[in-house]
Structure 1
Amino acid sequence: MDKLKLVALSGSLRNLSYNHAALQALKNLSVKVADIDILTLGNVPIFNPDREQDAIPAVKSLKSHLNAANGLIISSPEYAHEISGVMKNTLDWLVSGEEFVNMPIMLINTSPRATHAQQMLREVIVTMSGNIIEKSYVAIPLLGTSLDVQGIMTDSQLSGLLKTGLDEFCIAINDLLRCDSPQPLISN
């Protein structure tokens, strides 16, 4: 079977973001099973429903990538018990489109104590008809460490958690793809 095409979104714009580092480590660990495109959200403008029909390059690119993807990976921080503004803004641009509906979604939490944002993110995703793959959820304790991409990849526990989450995600997506494929009729 061909490698899966996955899109990843980090809810942080920081240069040294743990969320981005986790996604980059996952991308590096996934080369045999999936192609992961990590999208930058810094150019996505503030959501305005009056502009939904405008040809905004960052929004068009986001929707195009999602249309071509088999699944979506989201890693987002918690700010003041909320979803980060950049993540909420990005999701707002996807509310009225079809790109997100039934999309398999893997969640990564780089600060397991940050439960409020995860609950809110789940609520938003479910409301938007996304399909959270629970078995693929990964919580890795990066907050307060100095780990970068290489540090995450060489830490056997952290890289193992990411690999296991990705494996579960890919299994679920492949199962969904098989269910969506027409089954041959069996004749006696």
Structure 2
Amino acid sequence: MSQQISILGFAGSLRRESFNRALLRAAHELLPSEADLTTFDLEGIPPFNADKENDPVPKVTEFKAAVRAADALLIVTPEYNYSMPGVLKNALDAASRPYGDNALDDKPLAIMGASSGMLGTARAQYHLRQSCVFLNMHPLNRPEVMVPFAQEKIDANGVVIDEKTRQKIAELLQALVAWTRRLKS
């Protein structure tokens, strides 16, 4: 592994002005100098269909290649109905199939999310962690970045203005770099 840690980040929201995409943009600003962050837009990954897993659409092939090329992942998830969004679940299903071709296998990752409610995506993040068990991914345990009342912490231009939130994102990225080095050594 090179000195520089390559991180692939993606948001589980398709909405262009989502709070979670704002967190992903903030991660670019707060990235440690020993890491690179590339983002991937999940728009265009179709609902998972096992009948088509051996002939994936180009967007799925591109996503799997990006996952494989990265040293670590940064997943930014909203919470829909107490869970991760369908687009994120579909992307994970597509990246892990067909059986024996799991691009997510053995990947270190960090998770964060923002919502307008008081729990800041806690349930979605815990649900995502359950999927990580079967996918053999290695989620970072701390710090947890669950941004509640995001409308008070992210301005109308999609900029994270809350200093404590920015600090926690920076801490998460530093921890992800250290976690990735530890797991890859």
TM-score bin, normalised by smaller chain: 0.7 to 0.9
Alignment of 1:94-105 (within 5 A): 94-96=95-97, 97-105=101-109
Work out the CA distance in 2 between the residues paired with 1:76 and 1:150: 16
In structure 2, stretches of 5+ residues that fail to align are none
The alpha-carbon deviation at position 131 of structure 1 amounts to 0.6
- State the superposition RMSD in angstroms: 1.9
Instruction: Using structure 1 for the length normalisation, give the TM-score.
Output: 0.86
In structure 1, stretches of 5+ residues that fail to align are 179-188
**Count of aligned residue pairs for this structure pair:** 177
2:176 equivalent to 1:169: yes
Conservation of the 8 A alpha-carbon contact between 1:136 and 1:169: no
Equivalent position of 1:59 in the other structure: 60
Conservation of the 8 A alpha-carbon contact between 1:23 and 1:75: yes
2:151 equivalent to 1:151: no
Q: What code does the residue aligned with 1:159 have?
A: R
Deviation digits for residues 128-171 of structure 1 (CA, Å, limit 9, x no counterpart) = 1111111243222353336147731x532121111111111101
Equivalent position of 1:33 in the other structure: 34
Equivalent position of 1:119 in the other structure: 126
Work out the CA distance in 1 between the residues paired with 2:87 and 2:158: 26
Is the partner of 1:107 in helix, strand or coil? Answer: strand
Q: What code does the residue aligned with 2:146 have?
A: A
Deviation digits for residues 39-86 of structure 1 (CA, Å, limit 9, x no counterpart) = 111111121112112152110111101111000111111111121011
Work out the CA distance in 2 between the residues paired with 1:122 and 1:177: 20
Equivalent position of 2:70 in the other structure: 69
Equivalent position of 1:186 in the other structure: none
The alpha-carbon deviation at position 31 of structure 1 amounts to 5.8
Conservation of the 8 A alpha-carbon contact between 2:122 and 2:146: no
Runs (4+) off by over 4 Å = none
The alpha-carbon deviation at position 98 of structure 1 amounts to 2.7
Conservation of the 8 A alpha-carbon contact between 2:154 and 2:162: no
Identity %: 27
2:113 equivalent to 1:109: yes
Conservation of the 8 A alpha-carbon contact between 2:19 and 2:158: no
Q: What code does the residue aligned with 1:63 have?
A: K
